[in-house]
Chains A and B, each alone.
Chain A
Amino acid sequence: MTAPVTDDGRPIEGGAEPILELVGVRAGYGAIEVLHGVDLVVPRGSLVALLGPNGGGKTTTLRVCSGLLRVASGELRVAGRTVNGAAAHDLARVGVCSVPEGRGIFPNLTVRENLWLATGTGVARDRVESVAFDRFPRLGERRNQLAGTMSGGEQQMLAIARALATEPVVLILDELSMGLAPLVVSALYETVAELASSGISVLVAEQFAKTVLPIAQSAAIMLHGRVVRVGEPAAVEEELASAYLGG
């Protein structure tokens, strides 16, 4: 079920319409521009992997997508509508769910309180809890434990549980694998794959391509603040080595 995408990232005639789209986006921190015109498309219902070496600008791109960082120029579109300058909490409410780099949880709140805050997007509290505890029984066992005292994998489960329960339109994940054992990582990505197959569009940033390419429908390589290559996972994988080594 590979999404038909051309090399420069635009959907081929008749393909799914883009749910999330960056057009010539420039953004940065203060005077420092980090993204120098990023073009990226996430077609509806597909899983796009954003790959590239450290410091390439993946996290910055995702921060732009989730509304935490402002677009300096260019356009950010969600479901075809331009949403430049929308606040992150507004984007969250229209269905953009973002799990940031590191652990997307509140370490000093309990598991239940973390899930309670996930209802900020409008879902009922009961529903969030039942979905989360059904999918990850481990979280149910630790419902009243401080989230920060759980293992890294459990924390990441909690972060993803938010995505499961709130049924977003787009899910944005930043380096789920960071600091986790390979086994835990593959379990997490299984869940992500399930989410994607249930129709949620997903954008995943990863430094280590191996973990995510098998479940992705398309992949983009990001280098020095630009998307330098978009294509099918298999094709992109071949070019990865040179992207990491050369430049």
Chain B
Amino acid sequence: MHLFLTYTIFGLVLGGVYAIAASGLVLTYNTSGIFNFAHGAEAMLGAFLYWEVRYGWGVPTPLALILVLGVFGPLMGGLLYLVIMRGLRNTAEVTKVVVTVALMLGMLYLSEWFWNPQTDRTVVPFFGITSQVKILGADVTTHELIALGTAVLIGLGLRLFFYRLRIGVAMRGAVDDPGLLELNGHNPERIAALSWAMGSFLAVLAGVLLTPISGGALQANSLTLLVIDAFAAAVFGRLRSIPRTYIGALVLGLAASYVLAYSPKTWQWASNFRVSLPMIVLFVVLIVLPQDRLRGASVARTRERAHLPSVRSAVIAGAALVVVVVLLRQLMNDSDITTITLGMTFAVIALSLTLLTGYAGEMNLAAVSFGAIATMVSYHIGVTGHGLASRSTLWGIVVGVIVTAVVGAVVSLPALRLRGLYLGLATMAFGVFLTDMVLMDSNPHRIPLIHTKFSLFSGGAGINSLVIPPLRIGPLDLHDGTTFLVTATVVFAVLGIGLVALRNSSYGRRLTAMKDSPAASATLGQSLLRLKLSVFMLSAAVAGLGGVLMSMALGSVTPDNFSIFLSLSLLMLTVVAGISYVSGALMGGLLSGVGFALIVSTFHDLASRHGSVHGLFSFLASFATVTPALIGIGVGRNPSGSVHDFVDSYRSLRHRPRVLVGGGAVEAVLYVLSLTNVLGHWWFAILTSVLVMFLPLVGQMSDPARREQEAAAVPLELAGIDSPYSDGLRAELDRALGIEDLLPPERLARSRRNGRRSDGSGDRSMTEPLGAGVGDAGT
């Protein structure tokens, strides 16, 4: 009884802190439509800052609290809104997710930069550890009482705020219609900024309260993942209701506390289980939640755009990629090859995101975790031989990929009935669950009936890692680095071409229809569930394949190799590059597999070699770790991704073969110089990127048709009235109206022969039709 009481109180306290965090999340989500993945990171920064002020600077507790809770928290939230979140209006859900994910990663790196994770930092409970009271015979620290009291006060305070204050009512109104709020004489910007300030305050408050309760030192990662506990609670309140969020948080806190109290000591996995509890609760809640209503009226026009390549050009690009990689291979040494191979396997994983997010508009925040499943399966059933002679078999990979697809179905099924964001949350919860629970399973269990010992993620003797040998299929042996690199590239190219073909098929069009308007797509008789499920399974399979290849490239993998943060940064970089493009996946994969690791290690090398400017270089190294996050945050400004801009800029070169040939010739010269060691490899890389970036510019400067293009700056509906009606203009109008889709092929061919633009039909733009405006030109 005594034990029960103690743990009940502990559970309530824990639940109270979760509730504080979760209500902040619900608040900002409702007023701005942005689900803040950085919420836990804000709590983490707040906790670290509190430690710094209180113990680092030695400021007395009350003053430290005022500084951190009263000033830093609200200020951070308000600034985040004004600088970043405000720019996210009319962007797709994935863009919003990526920006906040980038923010989360950025804050995490920032904290590691400021506060070395190796140092232990403990926060003493308020009034000290010995300050306790007895409640019905159970000892409760004053800190815990304060936390519980604060949670109750916050709950009541929010209730009063939302129902008794006009600005609170206005905040609720902003959820429905910010425009109408403005017509009523309120400033929605100010209201949204206030809600972000409040949300951030609540996050920081939860962060400051939590650490002394759960005990131990401050840990950036686990505090950041507090967001998952918060969203399990928030999902319980359907991301809307704060009272229900409170109930969810209390259930969560109590459950965690009871597991801690009553699980037998022999269950080694119980502590892992406790960590994973929020994820499990999240899944259960997702299954129970009623289906979301489809809202047809609120189809938002988003700012994301993409061009769709034809299969033919995809084949050409794929072949070109393989040739380029083979050529580059000549310039590389062995360690470079391994790194590039790793990048290429990441690119394969990123392809799963192109399919799922770019084409179908759904989200997977744990792509790399799906790779872990395929890796485990292929380790357990697909390895032949011993020691250095051991090889993975094709059979193992095939079964691994199939199992991954099935697991993908199981994970996504409960969330697919709901809005896209829920799927994102479910996958993230799954990813964390996998690394916390499944991949930690290194101690052998005795399997009951067959009496053999077995553990999911261990190469034996309790070691928490797996050795994945290279693949051999007949004569093809990936033991050789070059063979592996070329094979990985070919796999990427083939899958990429497959994706483009898929996108061009009727299945692909259905996916796009679903992405643009689920409601309209459902009224056309599509089964959204079947469509979503199939695309998710397909994408999980691709991620699984990429994951096995990644594990092979690494040789030996630990749970860290499948960390959720890796999945998140891969998603982020792929969105930055252009999530709707296969080339975006290539760039995103290479960047996360190679790019930043290379830059950071280069700076670290430089720092250790040049003692005198050590500070500068290690600053640059730290800064480089934050850069990807900064780039990710910037995606709000350019949500279509950089590949999109790139494609746009090269589009203008299509009818300028001379510029292209010239550029190719220069590049060939560079290559030969580099091959013969006249030019250093770094110089080759730098000059090549300069060439690639500036070629479109060169093309534009020397373009005879430039004047015509400038004429096209006249609004389309006035073209032909305010500016001469030229062939180029007609092509432009055709494109805007989507006429290439409508004309029979023979007429299309004829008009293309006449037209100045001589590109392929795959050049269709998915830009929204300008039909409404253009119609006027005829009258």
Contact = CB atoms under 8 A, between A and B. Distances in A.
Contact of B185 (A55, A89, A224): A89
Nearest to B240: A108
Contacts of B772: 32, 34, 55
A32 B770 contact: yes
B166 A116 contact: yes
A187 interface: no
Nearest to A122: B185
A117 B173 contact: yes
Given A32-B772, A113-B169, A162-B184, A88 B175 contact: no
Contact of A225 (B177, B188, B776): B776
Nearest to A106: B173
Contacts of B175: 108
A225 B776 CA distance: 9
Contacts of B158: none
Contact of A89 (B173, B177, B187, B770): B187
A117 B180 CA distance: 10
A88 B188 CA distance: 10
Contact of A66 (B172, B181, B183): B183
Contacts of B776: 36, 224-225
A104 interface: yes
11 contacts: A31-B715, A33-B715, A36-B776, A67-B182, A68-B179, A87-B182, A106-B177, A117-B181, A117-B186, A120-B170, A120-B184
Q: Does more than half of chain B's interface fall in helix, strand or loop, or is it mixed?
A: helix
A92 interface: yes
B717 interface: yes
Interface string B765-776: 000001011001
Given A107-B176, A117-B170, A92 B185 contact: yes
Interface of A: 28, 31-34, 36, 55, 66-68, 87-89, 92-93, 97-100, 104-109, 113, 116-122, 162, 224-225, 247
Contact of B717 (A33, A116, A118, A120): A33
Interface in B159-179: 166, 169-170, 172-173, 175-177, 179
A89 B715 contact: no
B779 interface: yes
A162 B173 CA distance: 15
Interface in B164-219: 166, 169-170, 172-173, 175-177, 179-188
Nearest to A32: B773
Contact of B183 (A31, A98, A122): A98
Interface residues of B, number: 25
A33 B775 CA distance: 12
Contact of B166 (A36, A66, A119, A247): A119
Contacts of A55: 772
Nearest to B181: A117
Contacts of B179: 68, 88, 100
A106 B773 CA distance: 32
Given A89-B182, A225-B776, A109 B169 contact: yes
Q: Which 6 A-B pairs rank lowest in CB-CB distance, beginning with the nearest?
A: A120-B185, A92-B185, A121-B185, A88-B182, A120-B184, A106-B173
B151 to A, nearest CB: 26
A63 to B, nearest CB: 9
Given A106-B177, A225-B776, A92 B183 contact: yes
Contacts of A225: 776
Contacts of B715: 31, 33
A72 B35 CA distance: 33
Given A89-B188, A117-B181, A120-B181, 4 more contacts: A88-B179, A117-B169, A120-B170, A224-B776
A113 B164 CA distance: 10
Contact of A116 (B169, B182, B185, B187): B169
A88 B183 contact: yes
A56 to B, nearest CB: 11
Contacts of A113: 169, 172-173
A220 B180 CA distance: 26
B717 A68 contact: no
Contacts of A33: 715, 717, 773
Given A224-B776, A247-B779, A120 B176 contact: no
B184 A87 contact: no
A153 to B, nearest CB: 19
Contacts of A108: 172, 175-176
A117 B184 contact: yes
Given A33-B717, A109-B169, A92 B176 contact: no
A118 to B, nearest CB: 6
Contacts of B169: 109, 113, 116-117
Contacts of B180: 100, 104-106
B315 to A, nearest CB: 33
Contacts of B188: 89
A105 B173 CA distance: 9
A113 B717 CA distance: 45
B344 to A, nearest CB: 38
A68 B179 CA distance: 7
A121 B186 CA distance: 8
A38 B175 CA distance: 33
Contacts of B172: 106, 108-109, 113
B195 to A, nearest CB: 16
Contacts of A104: 180, 183
A36 B186 CA distance: 30
Contacts of A92: 182-185
Interface string B694-725: 00000000000000000000010100000000
A247 B183 CA distance: 33
Contact of A224 (B177, B770, B779): B779
B184 A121 contact: yes
Contacts of B177: 106
Contacts of B173: 106, 109, 113, 117
A3 B273 CA distance: 78
B718 to A, nearest CB: 8
A89 B173 CA distance: 15
Residue among B176, B185, B186, B715 having the largest count of chain A Cβ atoms under 10 Å: B185
Contacts of B183: 66, 68, 88-89, 92, 97-100, 104
Residue among A68, A108, A118, A120 having the largest count of chain B Cβ atoms under 10 Å: A120
Nearest to B779: A247
A228 to B, nearest CB: 11
B773 A120 contact: no
B186 to A, nearest CB: 4
A28 B301 CA distance: 14
Contacts of B187: 87, 89
B190 to A, nearest CB: 9
Contacts of A109: 169, 172-173, 176
A98 B181 CA distance: 11
Contacts of B779: 224, 247
Contacts of B717: 33, 36
A118 B180 CA distance: 10
A117 B770 contact: no
Given A100-B180, A108-B172, A117-B169, A89 B186 contact: yes
Contacts of A32: 770, 772-773
Residue among B172, B180, B187 having the largest count of chain A Cβ atoms under 10 Å: B180
Interface in B724-746: none
A225 B774 CA distance: 12
Contacts of A68: 179, 182-183
A87 B185 CA distance: 10
Nearest to A29: B301
A247 to B, nearest CB: 6
A100 B172 CA distance: 19
Interface in B641-677: none
A51 B246 CA distance: 52
Given A108-B172, A117-B170, A93 B185 contact: yes
Contacts of B181: 117, 120
Contact of B176 (A97, A106, A122, A162): A106
